[in-house]
Amino acid sequence: MASLSRRTFLVTAGAVGAGIVLVACGSDDSGASIPTADVGSASGTGDANRPNRVLVRFAADGVLAAGMPQRIAVGLADADGLLLVDTAPQITLQVVTEDGKPVGAPLTVDRHAQDLPRPYYPVLTNIADPGTYGLVGTVDGVQVSTAFSILEPDKVPVPKPGDQMVPVDTPTTANSQGVNPICTREPECDLHELALTDALKAGKPVAFLIATPAYCQTAACGPVLDVLLGQQSAFGGKVEMVHAEVYTDSSLKSTTRAVDDYHLSFEPVLFLAGADGVIQARLDSIFDTKELNEALTKLTS
């Protein structure tokens, strides 16, 4: 397993604005865009016949908590920052500390892309101590890496597994709550019949997706909403599914209560909660049919 030099680690950790902008969501009260997430950079180069590779983190930083299972979705891009579609069935990555010490065993992660236009690799870890960490590996003979932060649980603003869902009167077809449109999918999805507050009172598990298909800066919102809709036939009677938009209107100057109350700085995100309203899983930024089906099966078992 390749190691990560301190210099490379620090360059990767500070890559905001230097790499691919993949995750963005909403605006602050002044109308300025909420800061986008950074991405990792390749820490090595290939030879003349081998293209470079970049390990891309598909999520905002500062949203992962110590002492609990974490999901970090990553992908691969070329040296020009273009996401790769034809990628390996598996990649192996090692979590390392800031000074390059391995944390746990190497992780071999399957490629996911069922019903999605782009592949990704969901890395599952459980890191006990807060700090800055890296994921490092070798892809096509090239060392790649990306950095991420683990925070004290009470410092993570976004609700996480183990937290209670935040009840929000999300817009419905009967009451738009001043949001127009309540769904930017074409055609509008049917996950706006029930507000989240009512879904949480229904005595069933809840799948709550915050995403904006029309204005998503990652082009992932529409595909993951379709992935969720594709599970209605199997789980519609067992799980209350609710979709909420990111923006209150097409000006994109203000965000919805769902974004504000859930303290989101990225999109899309899916919260999966049990009938008691406790979040059991959070799928950040991207998920495919296989991963969602497995998560919903676990949620309803």
| CA–CA separation, 191 and 229 (whole Å) | 8
Task: Kindly state the DSSP code that residue 86 receives in the 8-state scheme.
Answer: S
124 and 18 in one domain? yes
Q: How confident is the model at residue 12 (pLDDT cuts 50, 70, 90)?
A: very low
**Minimum mean pLDDT range among 110-119, 136-145, 271-280, 288-297:** 136-145
Residue 46's Cβ-count burial label (10 Å; 0-12, 13-18, 19+) is middle
Yes or no: say if 47 and 24 are a contact pair by the CB < 8 Å rule: no
How far apart, in whole angstroms, are the C-alpha atoms of residue 234 and residue 237?
A: 8
Identify whether residues 258 and 127 lie together within a single domain: no
Give residue 5's pLDDT: 41
At 278, list the tokens. 């406790």
Q: Is the pLDDT of residue 236 over 90?
A: no
In this predicted structure, what is the pLDDT of residue 140? 85
- What's the whole-model pTM score? 0.86
Mean of pLDDT values over 25-47? 34
Quick check: helix, strand or coil at residue 123? Answer: strand
What value does the mean pLDDT take over residues 33-38?
Answer: 27
- Ranges 10-14, 131-135, 147-151, 191-195: which has the least confidence: 10-14
> Quick one: pLDDT band at residue 18, thresholds 50, 70, 90?
very low
User: What's the confidence (pLDDT) of residue 8?
Assistant: 36
Confidence of residue 106 (pLDDT cuts 50, 70, 90): very high
* Count of Cβ atoms closer than 10 Å to residue 285 Cβ: 26
Which domain CATH number covers 250? 3.40.30.10
Which range among 21-25, 28-32, 183-187, 291-295 shows the weakest confidence by mean pLDDT?
28-32
For the chain, what percent of residues have pLDDT higher than 90?
A: 77
pLDDT at 59: 81
Q: Are residues 144 and 218 in the same domain?
A: no
Token digits of residue 81: 């920052």
Q: CA 254 to CA 35: how far, in whole Å? A: 15
Q: Is residue 44 part of a domain?
A: yes
Model pLDDT for residues 213-233, shown as the tens digit of each residue: 999 988 899 999 999 999 999
Query: For residue 230, what are its two tokens?
Result: 């594709």
Mean pLDDT of 190-205: 97
Q: What is the pLDDT of residues 92-102, one digit of tens each?
A: 999 999 999 99
Count the residues in the chain: 301
Cα–Cα distance, 2 to 201 (Å, whole number): 50
Q: Which domain holds residue 268?
A: 196-300
In the chain, the number of structural domains is 2
CATH number of the domain encompassing residue 147: 2.60.40.10
CA–CA separation, 12 and 281 (whole Å): 28
Domain boundary among 155, 182, 212: 155
Rounded Cα gap, residues 175 and 42, in angstroms: 48
Cα separation, 253 vs 281, in Å, equals 30
**Which of 23-32, 125-134, 198-207, 267-276 is predicted least confidently?**
23-32
The H-or-E segment that residue 283 falls in is strand 279-284
Strand partners, 147: 134
13 and 146 in a single domain? The answer is yes
pLDDT (0 to 100) of residue 16 = 27
Same domain, residue pair 134 and 213 = no
> Is 1 within the bounds of a domain?
no
C-beta of residue 54 within 8 angstroms of C-beta of residue 42: yes
Answer yes or no: is 176 within a domain: no
The arrangement of strands across the sheet holding 90-97 comes to 107-110, 90-97, 131-139, 142-150
Domain boundary among 97, 130, 155: 155
Amino acid identity, residue 284? Answer: D
Is it the case that residue 128 has pLDDT exceeding 60? yes
What is the rounded distance in angstroms from the CA atom of residue 1 to the CA atom of residue 103? 12
Mind listing the pLDDT tens digit for each residue in 257-297?
999 999 999 999 999 999 999 999 999 999 999 999 999 99
